[in-house]
Amino acid sequence: MIHEYLIQLLTIISIYAIAVTSLNLTMGFTGLINLGHMVFFGIGAYASALLTLNGVPWYFAMLIAGILASVLGIAIAAITARLKGDYLAMVTLGLVFIAIAVSRNWISLTRGALGLPGVPDIIRNNFYYMVLCMSIAGICIFIFYKLINSQTGRVFQAIRDDETAAAVLGKNTYFYKIISMAVSTFFAAIAGSLLVHHINFIDPTIFDLEFLVVIVTILVAGGLASIKGSVISVFALLALSEAMRFVLVSPALIGPVREMMFEVILILILLFKPKGIFGKVDV
């Protein structure tokens, strides 16, 4: 049997792999600077937690969580269809603050800052849960791989490189951007759902910006528009972040140093290797 610690680490890596590759679909392949990715992750987590706490079977809860996030993703994509680059980044970043405010203040639903404890396990045995998370991550990566190598994926990349040129080639760019967001947000919610059943607790800190920094750093370090890069980067950076546990003497330092590590890596990558390790696209 694998060591319990490694099981925990691989479970988290699988969940992050889903979150990062799904962000790569919108940000790397379609060129939509979506800083609200963790909102959909959090909504998936909350939806899945609330449903299972009310007796809904986990697979059903996870599916509903995905669909709910996807519907919101479609709505956001439809509203912001004409926004590009920095403007879209501002609107999607705004979503984060809306999510924090709602999750803190809609007390009858989320219990506010107290959070929701006792979210049921999907599988009691941690080893099998790790296998489940790795399998779902595998399926998710396979779907993304197939999608970006299809005609639809080609249109995504065309929109990223030049939306006007894609339009005059007869592509309904509005429709494709919505599809990209719908798929990306669905899988973000699946990742959130897997996390909440793993840690059995959720509170509004799930929307905190530090998670966004982690996810974006992993994505940019691996390289935009490279699925291989995203996956390798998740392994490398999370392992590095875990290594802090063994290097630092004081446990109180681990959290802040980890946060700082991701921020420093993000800045270094942007300065010296803006395409990331495996990326093909400039940030």
Partner 1 sequence: MLSLNNICKSFGGVKAVDRCSFKTEENEITSLIGPNGAGKTTIFNIISGLTNPDSGTIRLLNKDITGMPAYKIAQSGISRTFQLTKVFRNVTVKDNLLIAKNTSEAEMKKMLESVYLHKPLDAIASELSYGQQRLLEIARALLKPHALLMLDEPTAGVNPRVRQELKLILKNLKKQGKTILLIEHDMDFVMDISDKVIVMNEGKVLREGKPKDIVKDKKVLEAYLGK
**Distance between CA atoms of 66 and 51, rounded to whole angstroms?**
12
DSSP state of 117: E
Residue type, 143: I
Selected range binding partner 1 among 51-59, 78-86, 89-97, 150-158, rule: CB under 8 A:
150-158
Out of 143, 157, 203, 205, name the contact with partner 1 by CB under 8 A: 157
Closest by Cα among 188, 190, 248 to 212: 188
User: Taking CA 119 as the corner, what is the angle to CA 68 and CA 40, rounded to the nearest 5 degrees?
Assistant: 30
CB of 277 to partner 1, least distance (A): 16
Out of 54, 108, 164, 250, name the contact with partner 1 by CB under 8 A: 164
**Distance between CA atoms of 135 and 213, rounded to whole angstroms?**
26
Query: What is the H or E stretch that residue 75 is in?
Result: helix 58-79
**Distance between CA atoms of 68 and 91, rounded to whole angstroms?**
20
**Distance between CA atoms of 229 and 222, rounded to whole angstroms?**
4
Selected range binding partner 1 among 1-9, 54-62, 75-83, 274-282, rule: CB under 8 A:
274-282
CB of 137 to partner 1, least distance (A): 26
178 binds partner 1 (CB under 8 A): no
Per-residue interface string for the shown chain with partner 1, residues 201-240, x marking contact by CB under 8 A: ------------------------x---------------
160 binds partner 1 (CB under 8 A): yes
Residues pairing with 134 in the sheet:
none
Give me the sign of the Cα torsion angle 8, 9, 13, 16: positive
Out of 71, 101, 169, 253, name the contact with partner 1 by CB under 8 A: 169
Nearer to partner 1, 4 or 162 (CB): 162
CB of 14 to partner 1, least distance (A): 29
Out of 54, 118, 124, 168, name the contact with partner 1 by CB under 8 A: 168
99 binds partner 1 (CB under 8 A): no
CB of 77 to partner 1, least distance (A): 17
**Distance between CA atoms of 23 and 11, rounded to whole angstroms?**
19
Selected range binding partner 1 among 93-101, 171-179, 201-209, 235-243, rule: CB under 8 A:
171-179
155 binds partner 1 (CB under 8 A): yes
For every residue of 197-262, DSSP letters joined together read HHH-EE-GGGG-HHHHHHHHHHHHHH-TT-HHHHHHHHHHHHHHHHHHHHH-S-HHHHHHHHHHHH
CB of 223 to partner 1, least distance (A): 11
- Helix, strand, or coil (residue 116): strand
Selected range binding partner 1 among 136-144, 169-177, 197-205, 255-263, rule: CB under 8 A:
169-177
177 binds partner 1 (CB under 8 A): no
**Distance between CA atoms of 276 and 229, rounded to whole angstroms?**
8
What residues make contact with partner 1 under the rule CB under 8 A? Answer: 151, 154-155, 157-158, 160-162, 164-173, 225, 280-282
